[in-house]
C-alpha cells in the first residue's frame, strides 16, 4: 500500500505541476472530488481493516507479555525487566501512507462540501470588472443562491433564485467550460438588450447613468471616465472610454443563438433566448463578454459573487460589493 500511495502522490504532483506551468488546464472541482473519493477509500480501509489489525497486534503483544510474566512468577521470579508500552505504541502507530490519506479525509470532505454547495473562493485575474473588482481581489461566490448543483457535473438538483439584472455571477466560459469567468448580468431570458454607441438599453429603455468623474487605474496608470449605472435594483459603477470603443462588425458573430443578434458598426442588439443570460464586464471597453461570444446558459452558472475577502495589495478592499 505504501508503494501505491507514493504512486498516487506522484501523479498528483505531476498534475499540479503541469497545471502550474500551463501545460494543461486543471479542473479543481474534479480534483477535489477525486481526492475525496480516494481518501474515503483509505479511511474505510483504515476503519475496518488496518486499525483493527494494529489493535489485534497490540493486544497479542500484551497477552504474550502477561503470559511471560505469569510463567516467570510461577518460577519464583517477581522482578521482570521490560516494558511493552513502547512495543504497543509502535504496533498501534498509523503508517505514513494512512496518515496522509485516511487522516486527511475529514478535512478534504469538509472542504469539498463547503466548496461544492456553499461558498467557493475565486481570484480576479483580469481588469474586465474594474472598477467594481480589481485584479488580485480574492472573492467569495455564493453557490446555493441560484440553487444546489451536483459538483463536477454542475447539474441543478434544487432550484432557488434566478439570476437577476445587476447580479455579478461566476460561470463556466461557454467557449471553454474548463475556464471560469466573472461578469455582470445585464439581460435575462426574454429581454431585448442593445449596446450601441457605448449606451446600454434594455427592452427599448436606455439604462440610466450618472457621471462620477474619472477613475484612475493603478495597473494601467491611466484615467477612464466613470459612471454610475442602475440595473434592476442594483446600482454600480462602470467605465466607458470613448477613445477605446469596441468594433463589432459588420461580419456576423458565430456562436449558439447568434441568429438572435444583429451587429453593425455601432454595436449589437440581441434577444435573450430562454434559459440564457446576457452578461457584460463593468469595464465596458476592456471586456470580452456576451457581445463577442454569446449568451451564458443557465447550467453554466456557478454562483453569485458577493464578497471580497482579501486583496494582499490593498486590504482596505475587504467587504461586500454591488
Buried b (16+ CB within 10 A) or exposed e, 9-47: eeeeeebeeeeeeeeeeeeebeebbebbebbbebbeebe
CA distance 247 to 57: 75
Q: Which residues, other chains included, contact 16 with Cβ-Cβ below 8 Å and sequence gap of 6+?
A: 26
Environment class of 203 (CB within 10 Å of its CB; exposed 0-12, middle 13-18, buried 19+)? exposed
> What whole-number distance in Å separates Cα of residue 137 and Cα of residue 140?
10
220 contacts 299 by C-beta, under 8 angstroms:
no
DSSP per position, 39-53: HHHHHHHIIIIIHHH
Q: Hey, which residues are catalytic here?
A: 128, 183
Distance, CA of 157 to chain centre:
19
Name the strand (E) or helix (H) holding 116: helix 105-117
Q: Show Cβ contacts of residue 160 under 8 Å, excluding neighbours closer than 6 positions.
A: 144, 145, 146, 147, 148
Amino acid at each position: 500500500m505504501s508503494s501505491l500511495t507514493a504512486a498516487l502522490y506522484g501523479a498528483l504532483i505531476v498534475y499540479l505541476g503541469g497545471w502550474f506551468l500551463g501545460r494543461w488546464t486543471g479542473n479543481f472541482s474534479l480534483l477535489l472530488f477525486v481526492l475525496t473519493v480516494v481518501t474515503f477509500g483509505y479511511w474505510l480501509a483504515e476503519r475496518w481493516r488496518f486499525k483493527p489489525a494494529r489493535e489485534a497486534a497490540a493486544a497479542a503483544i500484551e497477552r504474550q507479555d502477561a503470559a511471560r510474566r505469569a510463567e516467570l512468577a510461577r518460577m519464583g521470579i517477581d522482578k521482570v525487566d521490560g516494558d511493552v508500552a513502547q512495543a504497543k505504541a509502535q504496533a498501534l502507530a498509523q503508517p505514513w501512507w494512512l496518515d496522509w490519506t485516511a487522516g486527511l479525509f475529514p478535512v478534504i470532505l469538509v472542504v469539498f462540501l463547503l466548496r461544492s454547495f456553499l461558498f467557493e473562493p475565486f481570484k480576479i485575474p483580469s481588469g474586465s470588472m474594474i472598477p467594481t473588482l480589481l485584479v488580485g481581489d480574492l472573492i467569495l461566490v455564493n453557490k446555493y443562491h441560484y440553487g444546489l448543483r451536483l459538483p463536477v457535473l454542475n447539474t441543478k438538483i434544487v432550484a432557488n433564485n434566478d439570476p437577476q439584472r445587476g447580479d455579478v455571477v461566476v460561470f463556466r466560459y461557454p467557449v471553454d467550460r474548463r475556464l471560469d469567468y466573472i461578469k455582470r448580468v445585464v439581460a435575462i431570458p426574454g429581454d431585448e438588450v442593445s449596446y450601441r454607441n457605448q449606451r446600454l438599453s434594455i427592452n427599448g429603455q436606455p439604462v440610466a447613468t450618472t457621471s462620477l468623474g474619472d477613475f484612475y487605474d493603478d495597473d494601467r496608470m491611466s484615467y477612464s471616465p466613470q459612471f454610475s449605472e442602475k440595473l434592476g435594483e442594483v446600482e454600480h459603477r462602470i467605465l466607458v472610454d470613448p477613445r477605446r470603443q469596441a468594433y463589432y462588425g459588420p461580419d456576423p458573430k458565430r456562436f449558439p443563438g447568434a441568429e438572435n443578434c444583429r451587429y453593425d458598426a455601432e454595436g449589437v442588439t440581441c434577444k435573450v433566448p430562454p434559459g440564457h443570460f446576457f452578461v457584460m464586464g463593468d469595464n465596458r471597453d476592456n471586456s470580452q463578454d456576451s457581445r463577442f461570444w454569446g449568451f451564458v446558459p443557465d447550467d453554466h452558472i456557478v454562483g453569485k459573487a458577493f464578497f471580497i475577502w482579501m486583496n494582499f495589495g490593498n486590504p482596505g478592499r475587504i467587504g461586500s460589493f454591488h
